[in-house]
Amino acid sequence: FLTATAAYVVQLYLYKCACLKWEEVSIMDEKNIPIRTYQVCNVLEPNQNNWLRTDWIPRSGAQRVYVEVKFTLRDCNSLPGVTGTCKETFNLYYHESNEDRESYIKESSFIKVDTVAADESFTQVDVGDRIMKLNTEVRDVKVTTRKGFYLAFQDVGACIALVSVRVFYKTCPLTVRNLATFPDTITGADTSSLVEVRGSCVNQSEEREEPKMYCGADGEWLVPIGGCLCNPGYEERGGACKACRAGFYKAKSTDPGCAKCPPHSHSLRDGATICDCHAGFFRADTDPPSMACTQPPSAPQQLISVVNETSVVLEWTPPHRLGGRSDTSYNFPRPGSAGGSVSSSQFCAPCGSDVLFSPGQTGLTTTRVVVSELRAHTHYTFIVHARNGVSQASGAGAAQSVSVSVTTNQAAPSPVSSIQATDVTRHSLSLSWQQPDRPNGVILEYEVKFYEKDQRERSYRIMRTFSRSVDVTGLNPLTVYVFHVRARTAAGYGEFSTPFEFSTNSDPFPLIGEGVNSAFLLLSVSGVGILLLISAAVFIISRRRSKYSKTKQDSEEEKHLNPGVKIYVDPFTYEDPDQAIHEFAKEIDVSSIHIEKVIGMGEFGEVCSGRLRVQGKREIYVAIKSLKAGYSDKQRRDFLSEASIMGQFDHPNIIRLEGVVTRCKPLMIITEYMENGSLDAFLRKHDGQFTVIQLVGMLRGIASGMKYLSDMNYVHRDLAARNILVNSNLVCKVSDFGLSRVLEDDPEATGTYLSPGGKIPIRWTAPEAIAYRKFTTASDVWSYGIVMWEVVSYGERPYWDMNNQDVIKAIEEGYRLPAPMDCPVVLHQLMLDCWERDRAERPTFSQILNMLDKLIRNPGTLRRTGGERYLQCTKAKTEISSSKVWSLCEWLQSIGLERYRDTLAAAGYTSLDSLLALTHQIEVEIMNPR
Ligand code: ACK
């Protein structure tokens, strides 16, 4: 009968005892509705003990029940004539029991709950036509031991009317908190007890942390802990988990709610946990679902290569399209993978594992790699793949790669890595060693250098041998010697090995003529000493002469050590020009040439592009120069002389001759095809589009080609950007070889300055070549400086619109081209060095090459530019050419010679006029103070 919420009005039964004093009386309540009451009122008699009890009340799981009693109670004072026997309270009892029909329960079985007193003034209490005042008292009692209980009311002499008894227990009602459902829960046994309740997650949700709440004694839920989260694809709406709508998704239960599909993706059905990518877009495994769908990158761009002996610097610019991602990386495919990265010219084979890629071969995030440990004089193809996180998912491959082919140069052998000593005696030992890991050619000789350890390198001996062993004699007994070995090929000496130390012993066997050896040693030591002394003297003197002399000396030494270097043969020394052409150029069958289109006009006729298919080789693109009909003998000779010259060269930065057609007409010269044509036009077309490193890379290529020509004793005489050709990989190659042409047929020279021997391209030519036709490698270096200026200024015309006479005059007066806009200071300084008046002071191509390599290795050095100086310089150029007054200081600044300002001032030259009045001789004195 007990319910959780509704009060239960208890049926009361008269307690069956001898003193039956409680009576059931019907009365009217205040609204005149008849009600039943139990009344007792024996106030005049002492020792009252009148009991009234209820039926058995089932507990129904409750642990604490509440008893609400409504009653009236008469004030003893209001009863006339009552004495000490009158009471104003009654007692409430309970008795727990499993028996629902106990007919008799002993008084002593009941446990007292409380003595109940009225809290209302009830003086006037009465029923019927009188006012009745009701008392309501609630008591609670713990009932935990039996299935139910009985309640009893004990009257001890009061005047009471029991109107109602309501018995109830309390529950915490069913509720949903933090997406967990908590059931209707009966409160605990004690007033302070909390019942711990575990909730269960609502539909389409999962537990985040065990959901718990406490049911308090008064039916309130307390302290919610933990809770649930809507499953992926669902979000909380109104305390329940509802599916995300189409176009929305929720990936994780912890995401706050459904989100709109990211760019380039969609969801078609409700409840999406991820959005599908649009066609052509992809998602990497590691991409979060919130990320937009992306695409693989396009191929890397502008891959350039700079060959330095057996290493290659490769640089490229990032792909045009990054596919919406920022994780582009670059790979050089490993051997065995598609498009193996390197091939030899004959048979495509992957690079060996000994080739080093720095900083690495795969996963590169920079756009520069140095590949070293390559074989000398070998043709390599490098393929760079651009990849990003979705490359694999998209299955894209070749479209994302670019390749470049290079040919490595000659290189000295690598050092000998280990040396062994055997047959050690008092005065001798036998040394042996292995061939260097990278001989880079045929080893012609080994050089052994050794000295007593105590002596350091103050005096040493050198021995040379063709084999990999040598007997060293004439040593002192019981002495530690240090040995180094190096190898020599046609490319020169490699580096010495690290030092290896061996000691002679006291063993006299085998004995070898001691006296002779001592004398030999003495002679050798003193000989070497004298040699050293002479070298030192030469070294000191030459250093005082020029800052470039030290390295120049080195390079001369190099030449000396390279007796195998080929020397260029002037085809005009052949009486029969056809003999020269057939010695240096291959005759090509005209049927293997397929002409496609005219690409320009050369001095002897059209220049066409086309294809050449030589048997057993793959078809290649070529440029075809032809000799127009009606030529003279001299023209034929001059035309073919270019091929005879070109055919002697074999270098990646010199235009390669494929062959000639002389057996039928028109005569043709076939060269490799350079997709980007001549450098000056190419730069003008791509004004400002290259990085400084790319420009330096081009310059490096030209310098490398020029070094090769100068090593072969060939003087070009017309080095200019218009005579450099550029291929699709930005590799620059020197072209335009010819002898008479240099002075007569270059359009730059025509109608310009007529020297006693012919026409000269004034702006590119060194003063001594203009003045007295002194064409040397040093005059090529001057021209190289001008080419540098052309490159850095993207094909600007040297000396702008100044006329040739003014150019000659300005150069004579010390004027030099200013740094082009954004030109790194070091590059302009190198140009100025190339334009030293004294040709001995100019750097060699070898030094220029070293310098450019250093700059490429340390790109930071290229950062400092002259900046706004260009504007001043441009002004300077107009001022000088229009002979306006210009302050000496400004002028020096504009030509990059401000360092001479103090020197000039000290010499008394403070204005431009006074300086211009200087004779050439005086100027040289001041510019080069000794
Ligand atoms: O600037 P260009 O396009 O490059 O125009 C000239 C033209 O022929 C007359 O010399 C071009 N040319 C010459 N040799 C080659 C070559 N090997 N590959 C491509 N173009 C060439 C030059």
What would the pLDDT profile of 619-640 be if each residue is shown by its tens digit?
A: 999 999 999 988 888 889 889 9
**Top mutation candidate among 672, 673, 674 for ligand 1, by most atoms within 8 Å of CB:** 674
Of 389, 380, 383, 392, nearest in space to 361 by CA: 383
605 a known binding residue? Answer: yes
Question: Strand pairing of 480-489 and 461-465?
Answer: unpaired
Decide if pLDDT at 644 tops 70. yes
pLDDT at position 808 is 93
Please compute the mean of the pLDDT values over residues 154-158 and round it to a whole number: 94
- What is the rounded distance in angstroms from the CA atom of residue 893 to the CA atom of residue 878? 15
Decide if pLDDT at 375 tops 70. yes
pLDDT at position 337 is 38
Decide if pLDDT at 231 tops 80. yes
pLDDT at position 274 is 96
Of 685, 799, 695, nearest in space to 752 by CA: 799
Decide if pLDDT at 386 tops 80. yes
pLDDT at position 907 is 58
Ligand 1 centroid to residue 676 C-alpha, Å: 8
Nearest atom of ligand 1 to the alpha carbon of 680: 1
- What is the rounded distance in angstroms from the CA atom of residue 205 to the CA atom of residue 208? 9
Find the catalytic residue in 287, 711, 718, 833: 718
Please compute the mean of the pLDDT values over residues 49-75 and round it to a whole number: 92
Q: Which residue has the higher pLDDT, 510 or 550?
A: 510
pLDDT at position 857 is 84
Separation in Å, CA 88 to CA 114, 137, 151, 410, 818: 14, 14, 20, 127, 123
Q: What is the pLDDT of residues 447-481, one digit of tens each?
A: 999 999 887 777 788 888 888 999 998 898 889 99
The protein residue with its alpha carbon nearest to ligand 1, atom 7, reads: 600
pLDDT at position 583 is 87
Please compute the mean of the pLDDT values over residues 361-388 and round it to a whole number: 89
Of 115, 151, 146, nearest in space to 11 by CA: 151
Decide if pLDDT at 196 tops 50. yes
Ligand 1 centroid to residue 746 C-alpha, Å: 14
Ligand 1 centroid to residue 749 C-alpha, Å: 19
Contact present, 706 and 715 (Cβ < 8 Å): no
Decide if pLDDT at 608 tops 90. yes
Nearest atom of ligand 1 to the alpha carbon of 722: 1
pLDDT at position 123 is 46
Please compute the mean of the pLDDT values over residues 386-390 and round it to a whole number: 92
Please compute the mean of the pLDDT values over residues 708-725 and round it to a whole number: 94
Q: Is the pTM of this model over 0.75?
A: no
Ligand 1 centroid to residue 657 C-alpha, Å: 14
Ligand 1 centroid to residue 226 C-alpha, Å: 79
pLDDT at position 351 is 67
pLDDT at position 915 is 54
pLDDT at position 32 is 83
Residue 84: band (very low, low, confident or very high) from pLDDT cuts 50, 70, 90 = confident
The protein residue with its alpha carbon nearest to ligand 1, atom 6, reads: 600
Give the lowest-confidence range in 29-33, 171-175, 541-545, 749-753: 541-545
- What is the rounded distance in angstroms from the CA atom of residue 850 to the CA atom of residue 641? 32
pLDDT at position 441 is 76
Of 361, 319, 318, 359, nearest in space to 342 by CA: 361
pLDDT at position 578 is 84
Ramachandran angles phi, psi of 141, nearest 5°: -145, 145
Ligand 1 centroid to residue 577 C-alpha, Å: 25
Decide if pLDDT at 753 tops 70. no
Give the lowest-confidence range in 280-289, 628-637, 845-854: 628-637
Ligand 1 centroid to residue 637 C-alpha, Å: 21
**Top mutation candidate among 607, 727, 729, 736 for ligand 1, by most atoms within 8 Å of CB:** 607
Residues in a beta bridge with 91 = 115, 154
The protein residue with its alpha carbon nearest to ligand 1, atom 10, reads: 602
pLDDT at position 739 is 54
Decide if pLDDT at 785 tops 60. yes
pLDDT at position 759 is 74
831 a known binding residue? Answer: no
pLDDT at position 336 is 39
Please compute the mean of the pLDDT values over residues 28-34 and round it to a whole number: 79
Please compute the mean of the pLDDT values over residues 589-607 and round it to a whole number: 92
Decide if pLDDT at 882 tops 60. no
Contact present, 457 and 484 (Cβ < 8 Å): no
pLDDT at position 841 is 94
Nearest atom of ligand 1 to the alpha carbon of 735: 14
65 a known binding residue? Answer: no
User: For the chain, what percent of residues have pLDDT higher than 70?
Assistant: 78
Nearest atom of ligand 1 to the alpha carbon of 671: 17
Give the lowest-confidence range in 33-37, 327-331, 399-403, 622-626: 399-403
- What is the rounded distance in angstroms from the CA atom of residue 23 to the CA atom of residue 13? 10
DSSP state of 52: E
Decide if pLDDT at 389 tops 60. yes
Q: Which residue has the higher pLDDT, 431 or 875?
A: 431
Residue 369: band (very low, low, confident or very high) from pLDDT cuts 50, 70, 90 = very high
Contact present, 335 and 351 (Cβ < 8 Å): yes
User: For the chain, what percent of residues have pLDDT higher than 90?
Assistant: 54
Give the lowest-confidence range in 198-202, 386-390, 909-913: 909-913
The protein residue with its alpha carbon nearest to ligand 1, atom 2, reads: 677
Is 576 among the catalytic positions?
A: no
Using CB distances shorter than 6 Å, the residues near ligand 1 are: 599-602, 607, 623, 655, 671, 673-674, 677-678, 681, 725
**Top mutation candidate among 593, 678, 686, 737 for ligand 1, by most atoms within 8 Å of CB:** 678
Q: Which residue has the higher pLDDT, 507 or 824?
A: 824
- Exposed/middle/buried for residue 459 (C-beta within 10 Å: 0-12, 13-18, 19+): middle
606 a known binding residue? Answer: yes
Q: Which residue has the higher pLDDT, 14 or 286?
A: 286
Decide if pLDDT at 550 tops 60. no
The per-residue pLDDT of the chain, averaged, comes to 81
Nearest atom of ligand 1 to the alpha carbon of 601: 9
pLDDT at position 130 is 52
Q: What is the pLDDT of residues 560-582, one digit of tens each?
A: 333 345 678 888 877 777 888 98
The protein residue with its alpha carbon nearest to ligand 1, atom 20, reads: 677
Residue 548: band (very low, low, confident or very high) from pLDDT cuts 50, 70, 90 = low
Residue 396: band (very low, low, confident or very high) from pLDDT cuts 50, 70, 90 = low
Ligand 1 centroid to residue 728 C-alpha, Å: 13
**Top mutation candidate among 684, 725, 728, 741 for ligand 1, by most atoms within 8 Å of CB:** 725
Nearest atom of ligand 1 to the alpha carbon of 672: 17
pLDDT at position 575 is 76
pLDDT at position 497 is 94
